[in-house]
A and B are shown apart, each in its own frame.
Chain A
Amino acid sequence: MASTRPPGDDGLSAPHILEYAYKRSLGKVLSRFFTGLRDKRIEGVRTRSGRVLVPPSEYDPETGESTLDDFVEVGPGGVVKSWAWVGAPRKSHPLAHPFAFALIELEGADTALMHVVDSGDESAMKTGMRVVPRWSDETVGRIQDIAAFIPEASA
């Protein structure tokens, strides 16, 4: 339908900025995982069926059953299961130079952890390649405590 406004009248507008503060409580399972990262230790949790979930979860995603109070140190190295190259990183990407987002199955884990691989070049990326973590200089208990994974060959 055509506008009924006279020519030159664009109607009124006003800014509407909605900002809202949120907070998250991690609960005991993820709190333990992130506390482990601070100490440069990666932990998974065991399900009733014996699988090790990394990152750990309060429940087995397949069944809904609670996971066991059985934490398992995994890695620190692992295998890239899948990856996507980011050739032109933008401001909010984790690295300022080209890198890969990757699903990494750490040694001793039955699930893959989503993180980044700093391989230098896309040609260095390969599904099945082995990677190890490069820890941040300062670890505080967050996922960025692992600055990136790097090819084991170059470690």
Chain B
Amino acid sequence: MAEHAAVIGVGQTDFDAKREDVSQVGLIREAAERALADAELDWADIDAVVVGKAPDMFEGVMMPELFLAEALGGVGKPMLRVHTAGSVGGSTAIVAASLVQSGVHERVLTVAYEKQSESNAMWALSIKMPFTPIMVAGAGGFFAPLIRGYMERSGAPEDTGIRVALKDRLNALKNPLAHLKLPDVNFEMIQNSPMLWDPVRYLETCPSSDGACALVIGNEKHARAASAPPAWIHATNMKTEPTMFAGRDQVMPKAGLECAAGLYKKAGIQDPRKEIDCAEIYVPFSWFEPMWMENLHFAPINEGWKMTYEGATALDGDLPVNMSGGVLSTNAIGASGMVRFAEAAMQVRGQAGEHQIDGAKKALGHAYGGGSQYFSMWIVADQPLQ
């Protein structure tokens, strides 16, 4: 029987395009120290450290977990590194949770980050290899055809993506930590923004951010002793499929469908749309909201866009999605998955401030990465799983 584990501390940095005021170490410690302060713990109280980030090439520090060991109080403690592309923030939190659920450790610090300003992640993803076609299109160039595929299959109205972007950009105005804030944002501003990767417009795209996120995960004893409400981890799940194989459905990846189904089974959820109060999901390009609504079984296949269109995913909808402004407003790549997991925890702890959903008791955190191939998810709640 696994031990109960709960989030007992959450820390996020301030996010910005360039956090030139801090070193990589300073950025990561900003999140870690905020999480420790939230948990009312010191460095010495931590049993193990789990670090995650996207490819090392993004900052040019190879195996940064070694470079960061002392900066994260890791001397004499087990330290693990996780890497699952853009989903890494989520899978890093899951690895940390597993160290507690297994009974190996009592209190684990986990941190995920990216300092994009120290290089250019967009082009690090588009290396010109000999003997292969040169795409030089970045992540958006990879995902735009998948979005077009979804639009054709589902018959979703052309402006679905604009509506997602407008919702998330308005939500970001309620989140003091969000990077991209456009106080005057409206439908026309997004519609008239330049077409970057048809059909994805500039304002339907995530920014490049510097930032980090940290969590302290504790066992039941420490969760019950904490003065702030814990976010009890009901279930975690990860699934992966290759980038390419014959017959792969890249628009609606099987790994995601199965990851979500397995997650709900572990959490005892029969009807996710009814039982989950709100969700923070990885939407780096606006159209991924309706696509993931289907992949996460919140809507029937080809009908995810209706949730966006009908306002179901708005702050006052029946399943609010990306209350924080989401990845569309803040994308420190390696941190982004953990921010989703952290924001889900903040909702059930009642910590989300202006973007809090009243009475949120059960929340989903979701991240994906690579070519829509790595999935990591968790369900957190205000009470432990019965």
Binding site for B on A (CB under 8 A): 12, 14-16, 18, 20-30, 58-59, 61-66
Contacts and interface: CB of A to CB of B under 8 A. Distances in A.
B227 interface: no
A22 B73 contact: no
Max chain A C-beta neighbours (<10 A), residue from B23, B24, B43, B118: B23
Contacts of B29: 58-59, 66
Contacts of B20: 25
Contacts of A15: 130
B21 A64 contact: no
B9 to A, nearest CB: 15
A21 B120 CA distance: 8
A20 B23 contact: no
A27 B23 contact: yes
A27 B59 contact: no
A29 to B, nearest CB: 8
- Describe A's contact surface by its main secondary structure: loop
A28 B21 contact: yes
B127 interface: yes
Interface in B22-65: 22-26, 29, 33, 42-44, 57, 59-60
A25 B118 CA distance: 8
A115 B196 CA distance: 49
Contacts of A24: 23-24, 118
A25 B117 CA distance: 9
Contact of A64 (B22, B26, B71, B118): B71
B331 to A, nearest CB: 19
A125 to B, nearest CB: 29
Given A25-B23, A64-B71, A16 B57 contact: no
24 contacts: A14-B131, A20-B60, A21-B119, A22-B60, A24-B23, A24-B118, A25-B19, A25-B118, A27-B21, A28-B21, A29-B23, A58-B29, A58-B71, A59-B70, A59-B73, A61-B70, A61-B71, A63-B43, A63-B44, A63-B75, A64-B71, A64-B73, A65-B43, A65-B73
A21 to B, nearest CB: 7
A26 B23 contact: yes
Contacts of A12: 131
B72 A25 contact: no
Contacts of B74: 64
B225 interface: no
A12 B42 CA distance: 58
B124 interface: yes
Contact of A14 (B33, B57, B71, B130): B130
B2 interface: no
Contact of B25 (A14, A21, A23, A58): A58
Nearest to A26: B23
Given A64-B71, A64-B72, A27 B118 contact: no
A62 B75 contact: yes
Cβ-closest 10 pairs across A and B: A64-B73, A27-B23, A14-B130, A64-B43, A61-B70, A27-B26, A22-B60, A25-B20, A27-B22, A22-B119
Given A22-B118, A22-B119, A58-B29, A63 B73 contact: yes
Nearest to A60: B70
B108 to A, nearest CB: 14
Nearest to B76: A62
A12 B73 CA distance: 49
B70 A64 contact: yes
Given A16-B130, A25-B20, A66 B33 contact: yes
A64 B127 contact: no
Nearest to B19: A25
